[in-house]
């Protein structure tokens, strides 16, 4: 595609501004590791929320979501539960606060608050670092593949997809490495503003150019229906036969069974808490547990509404104006390329430059956040702890530069050989996280679970996630999840019951500080004997109610912009009504209790000290 000189100028101006802004604020990160990795816990929660949303508004994921909406219609709103997207609701309701109360720098460092400093805790600490690095490498591979496939259609210099990805990753790495969390957050706020303008503009273009009648001519019956039965019941045969083949390839034709598996996996992953990536880092960067909860709430609003204006707009433009060309491609169609094709054909000069800059911003935000999540584990949890514990803060920051470059090189190396965005997504969210979930559910809710159980659960789970695709390539990533989960649960239980419990003092301190609900009876009784004024966490049923209401709130926030763009205004109003109703409920049942939830433990601690 040939870009107009105006578009090229806008894109270059954006790239220069992002790099210079990130470098300009980098001096804020030069003091110590806390400033470099967590912004010194001084950044406002709403900045961190927008930054977190911007990091999730990635270009590879957006390309994937456009392909899902193109083929599956409104039912595609459920498919991102594979991640699962509703984990942000669990974080908002209670898990962000639990995590932030630990007052640590990384997920691996958090292990000490739960398991102490014995041999089991040390092994658990190491395996969390390993998982974090494998996870970050997977996400960098995913980002590399997405930006390359996008750039080859839009940037005018006739390079390969991998060469474009290499250049854009290099530009982003420059300011991320130098500036740490401050540079990432400030540039991500700028990038999110560009993304929002771009997204709303695409939605408006689609609304004005695509009539409901034109859309109905190119979609199968049931495409606009959000609810589903046991079978998917979408027949593209007379419209785009390749779409039927893609549905079979994805394995979503029996949609009811797929949904139940996705829901089962999603709930387990959500109650496990955040994986050790940029999402966890934003939570640990907030000032207080209350602000951690507020930050996670902001993500749901600022991410979903503008993003789905863009997704819906690009999808219906492609459906109406590009279906004929797709049909002519036959089985050679790569549905992940719907997004760049839609942009290249239906957006005027000038605005196209803004939109391409916005999507580059999406890539840079996600990439920057992912890169910045890795060095704390390498420097703080490996180098400082085991190799050189007495170096200066300035030296550790310089080591972080080298660690950032190292993980980027590793991600690029894997991304160079991967063919599909979808394949990487499914491996991360099904196979890899299948190995993560058992240990990280049990760590919050069962007092007897110890460091050895955590270690062996993670080791067997990670090994299973790597071996399964090689040993049983015909088993899909989603179907492999229960197998990997079973292996990991066996490792957790055996490792726990064949070894002694963790130190009682560590368990009591964790229980007092974090105040989890769950199977903590023996520890709760001992804490109450020592301090009769201590109040155990009474919020289990309130939290579960708020999770259900929150998931309905989040899903309606996603459906509302899609219904608006496809001009199903009655449905959009129903979605808006659900958003308003659930927002009112959450105000009374969640928001009004945030401050009480933190004040009461502080008062108890003071009373206990007296």
Spatial separation of the C-alpha atoms in residues 110 and 497, rounded to whole Å: 22
pLDDT band of 318, cuts 50, 70, 90:
confident
Which spans in 374-502 are helix H? Answer: 375, 393-415, 421-426, 433-445, 451-471, 477-497
Spatial separation of the C-alpha atoms in residues 77 and 403, rounded to whole Å: 37
Does the pTM surpass 0.75? The reply is: yes
Whether 384 contacts 391, CB under 8 Å: yes
Closest CA to 106 of 296, 290, 274, 268: 274
C-alpha dihedral, 101 to 106 to 108 to 112, nearest 10°: -40
Q: Give the per-residue pLDDT at 608.
A: 46
Mean local confidence (pLDDT), 114-130? 89
Spatial separation of the C-alpha atoms in residues 241 and 220, rounded to whole Å: 11
| Cβ neighbours, 10 Å, residue 450 | 29
What domains lie within the chain, and their CATH numbers? 5-110+117-418 (1.20.1730.10)
Whether 380 contacts 393, CB under 8 Å: no
The alpha carbon of 308 is separated from its chain's Cα centroid by a whole number of angstroms, namely: 16
Closest CA to 280 of 375, 379, 373, 187: 373
Spatial separation of the C-alpha atoms in residues 267 and 575, rounded to whole Å: 23
Mean local confidence (pLDDT), 508-514? 93
- The overall average pLDDT reported for the chain is 83
Take residue 453 and report the two structure tokens written for it: 């159980």
> What percentage of the chain has pLDDT greater than the value 90?
35
| Cβ neighbours, 10 Å, residue 336 | 19
Spatial separation of the C-alpha atoms in residues 229 and 212, rounded to whole Å: 25
Q: Give the per-residue pLDDT at 390.
A: 85
Q: Give the per-residue pLDDT at 540.
A: 96
| Cβ neighbours, 10 Å, residue 470 | 7
In this model, does residue 2 exceed pLDDT 70?
no
Take residue 213 and report the two structure tokens written for it: 């009648």
Q: Give the per-residue pLDDT at 609.
A: 44
pLDDT band of 538, cuts 50, 70, 90:
very high
Higher pLDDT, 550 or 201: 550
Take residue 168 and report the two structure tokens written for it: 């854009």
């Amino acid at each position: 595609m040939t870009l107009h000189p105006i578009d090229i100028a806008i894109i270059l101006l954006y790239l220069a501004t992002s790099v210079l802004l990130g470098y300009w604020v980098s001096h804020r990160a030069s003091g110590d590791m806390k400033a470099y990795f967590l912004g010194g816990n001084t950044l406002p929660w709403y900045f961190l929320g927008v930054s977190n949303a911007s990091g999730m508004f990635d270009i590879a994921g957006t390309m994937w979501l456009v392909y899902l909406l193109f083929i599956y219609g409104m039912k595609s709103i459920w498919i991102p539960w594979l991640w699962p997207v509703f984990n942000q609701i669990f974080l908002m309701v209670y898990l962000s606060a639990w995590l932030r109360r630990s007052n640590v720098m990384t997920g691996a460092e958090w292990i000490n608050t739960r398991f102490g400093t014995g041999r089991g805790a040390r092994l658990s600490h190491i395996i969390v670092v390993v998982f974090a690095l494998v996870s970050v490498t997977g996400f960098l591979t995913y980002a590399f593949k997405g930006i390359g496939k996008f750039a080859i259609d839009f940037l005018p210099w006739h390079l390969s997809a991998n060469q474009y990805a290499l250049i854009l990753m290099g530009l982003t790495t420059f300011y991320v490495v130098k500036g740490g969390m401050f540079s990432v957050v400030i540039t991500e706020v700028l990038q999110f503003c560009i993304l929002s303008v771009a997204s709303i503009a695409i939605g408006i273009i689609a609304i004005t150019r695509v009539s409901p009648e034109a859309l109905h001519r190119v979609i199968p019956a049931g495409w606009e229906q959000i609810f589903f039965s046991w079978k998917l019941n979408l027949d593209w045969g007379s419209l785009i036969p390749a779409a039927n083949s893609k549905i079979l390839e994805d394995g979503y034709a029996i949609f009811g069974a797929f949904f139940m598996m996705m829901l089962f996996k999603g709930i387990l992953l959500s109650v496990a808490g955040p994986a050790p990536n940029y999402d966890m880092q934003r939570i640990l960067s907030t000032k207080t547990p209350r602000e951690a909860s507020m930050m996670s709430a902001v993500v749901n609003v600022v991410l979903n509404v503008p993003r789905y204006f863009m997704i819906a707009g690009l999808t219906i433009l492609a459906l109406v104006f590009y279906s004929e060309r797709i049909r002519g491609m036959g089985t050679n169609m790569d549905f992940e390329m719907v997004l760049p094709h839609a942009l290249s054909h239906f957006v005027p000069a000038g605005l196209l430059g803004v939109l391409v800059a916005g999507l580059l911003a999406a890539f840079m935000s996600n990439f920057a956040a992912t890169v910045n999540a890795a060095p704390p584990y390498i420097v703080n949890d490996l180098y400082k702890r085991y190799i050189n514990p007495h170096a200066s803060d300035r030296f550790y920051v310089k080591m972080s530069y080298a660690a950032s470059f190292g993980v980027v090189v590793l991600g690029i190396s894997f991304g160079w050989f991967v063919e599909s965005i979808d394949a990487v997504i499914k491996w991360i969210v099904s196979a890899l996280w299948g190995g993560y979930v058992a240990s990280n559910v049990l760590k919050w809710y069962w007092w007897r679970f110890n460091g050895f159980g955590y270690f062996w659960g993670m080791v067997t789970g990670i090994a299973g996630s790597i071996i399964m695709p090689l040993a049983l390539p015909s088993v899909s990533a989603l179907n492999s999840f229960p197998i990997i989960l079973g292996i990991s649960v066996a490792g957790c239980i055996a490792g726990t019951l064949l070894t002694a419990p963790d130190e009682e003092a560590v368990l009591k301190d964790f229980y007092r500080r974090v105040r989890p609900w769950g199977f903590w009876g023996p520890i709760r009784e001992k804490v109450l004997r020592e301090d009769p004024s201590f109040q155990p966490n009474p919020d289990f049923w309130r939290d579960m109610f708020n999770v259900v209401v929150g998931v309905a709130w989040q899903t309606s926030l996603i459906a509302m912009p899609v219904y608006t763009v496809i001009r199903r205004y009655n449905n959009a109003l129903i979605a808006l009504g659900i958003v308003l109703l659930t927002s009112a409920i959450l105000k009374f049942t969640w928001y009004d209790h945030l401050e009480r939830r933190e004040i009461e433990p502080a008062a108890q601690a003071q009373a206990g000290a007296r």
